[in-house]
């Protein structure tokens, strides 16, 4: 489902995050053979497990989710094969929902978006998707594994008869293979950090114009979708949860080595606490820069982008319940959605808003 509208806000209150401890159920690729283990992660202050059950204690009212953090190359066919492998492993792990990373079918480079762009189906589509090999792959696996698939994002080509536009787009498929949501990245990644990184998605991409939610049924309830840079804008997330009562906010993303260490986890925990819901992110795995050469020692066609990795699940209290490092990983965890209602009842900020002082709303012209 896509919902039109820009956001208006007359004032915002600052939010805070909490210090936590965390561990993760991670499937990590080492060489050719995947290794499955329940791994305690000693990342900075995270030293032990908190508020998380292992897979052996999984119950029917705690759906499993998987974050697919795999390496992305310039070879679309190889990327499709990698995505297929990870979706199969997510299914084998008993997951009801899988999330792919941002721009998973080709390089994350403004100059590459047009080459790797596809004509994507509309919401409600459930027929064959021959015009989009990436969408067809996701649809087929959703059907085969009876699994919700949040398809990360790929570049989308749209021709209106007079011009062609490109978007950074996420498709969501239900377990029957139907497209139930289509999110075009609303906030384009245009930054210039001195001594860090300069990137301008707007050089080739157009921004989306809609909020995006879908109904994940009995397992998940309402789910909101954003892409990467969208997470920096609290108004977007707040409108999704306040208007559509989302239990989950999902952001496929590809933060970098400048913004990743400083803000990746911080923003996820902030959005989780702000909205008293789960926040899920899926990043590509980190691929080390090879000085401009590809796997065949030929000069690389597009600039290299180094992703931060660290795909993560954050609970409503702001605690990290599952995460990984920068390497290829399948992050698997259960979601206890009773924590969403418990948090909203015990700290009822949704009912304590001061509408006499500030208002968050869609413009009246929105559909």
Catalytic site positions: 102, 185, 228
CA distance 133 to 136: 5
Query: Which residues are CB-contacts of 220 (< 8 A; sequence separation ≥ 6)?
Result: 63, 96, 97, 148, 247, 248, 335, 337
- Cβ(214)–Cβ(164) below 8 Å: no
The DSSP H or E segment spanning 144 is helix 133-145
* Closest to 254 (Cα-Cα) out of 110, 153, 114: 153
Cα separation, 10 vs 24, in Å, equals 39
Q: Is 143 exposed, middle or buried (0-12, 13-18, 19+ CB in 10 A)?
A: middle
Q: 72: left (phi > 0), else alpha (psi -120 to 50), else beta?
A: beta
Secondary structure (3-state) at 262: helix
51 touches 313 (CB < 8 A):
no
> For the CA atoms of 223, 227, 232, 237, what is the dihedral angle to 10 degrees?
-20
Q: Return the structure tokens found at 62.
A: 């705690």
Angle at 142 (CA atoms; ends 137, 143), nearest 5 degrees: 100
Secondary structure of 287-342 in HEC code, one letter for each residue: CCCCCCECCCCCECCCCCCCECCCCEEECCCCCEEEECCCCCEEEEEECCCHHHHH
């Amino acid at each position: 489902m896509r919902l039109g509208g820009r956001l208006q806000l007359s004032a915002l209150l600052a939010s805070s995050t909490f210090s936590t401890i965390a561990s993760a159920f991670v499937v990590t690729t080492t060489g050719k053979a995947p290794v499955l283990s329940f791994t305690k992660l000693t990342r900075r202050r995270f030293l032990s497990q908190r508020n998380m059950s292992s897979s052996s204690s999984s119950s029917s009212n705690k759906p499993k989710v998987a974050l697919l953090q795999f390496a992305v190359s310039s070879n679309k066919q190889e990327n499709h094969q990698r995505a297929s492998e990870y979706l199969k492993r997510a299914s084998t792990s008993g997951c009801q929902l899988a999330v792919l990373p941002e721009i998973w079918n080709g390089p994350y480079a403004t100059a590459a978006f047009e080459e790797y762009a596809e004509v994507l189906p509309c919401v409600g589509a459930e027929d064959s998707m021959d015009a989009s090999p990436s969408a067809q792959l996701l649809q087929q696996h959703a059907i085969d594994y009876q699994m919700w698939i949040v398809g990360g994002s790929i570049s989308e080509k749209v021709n209106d008869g007079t011009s062609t536009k490109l978007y950074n787009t996420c498709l969501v498929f239900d377990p029957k293979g139907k497209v139930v949501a289509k999110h075009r990245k609303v906030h384009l990644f245009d930054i210039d950090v001195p001594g860090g990184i300069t990137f301008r998605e707007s050089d080739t991409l157009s921004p989306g114009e809609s909020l995006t939610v879908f109904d994940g049924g009995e397992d998940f309830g309402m789910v909101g979708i954003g892409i990467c840079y969208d997470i920096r804008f609290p108004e977007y997330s707040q409108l999704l949860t306040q208007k559509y009562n989302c239990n989950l906010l999902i952001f496929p993303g590809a933060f970098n080595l400048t913004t990743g260490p400083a803000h990746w986890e911080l923003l996820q925990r902030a959005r989780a606490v702000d909205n008293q819901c789960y926040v899920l992110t899926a990043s590509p795995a980190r691929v080390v820069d090879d000085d401009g050469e590809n796997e065949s020692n030929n000069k690389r066609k597009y600039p290299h982008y180094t992703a931060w990795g660290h795909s993560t699940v954050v609970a409503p209290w702001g605690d990290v319940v599952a995460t990984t490092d920068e390497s290829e990983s399948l992050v698997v965890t259960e979601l206890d959605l009773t924590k969403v209602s418990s948090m909203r009842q015990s700290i009822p900020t949704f009912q304590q808003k001061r509408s006499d002082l500030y208002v968050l709303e869609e413009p009246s012209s929105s559909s």
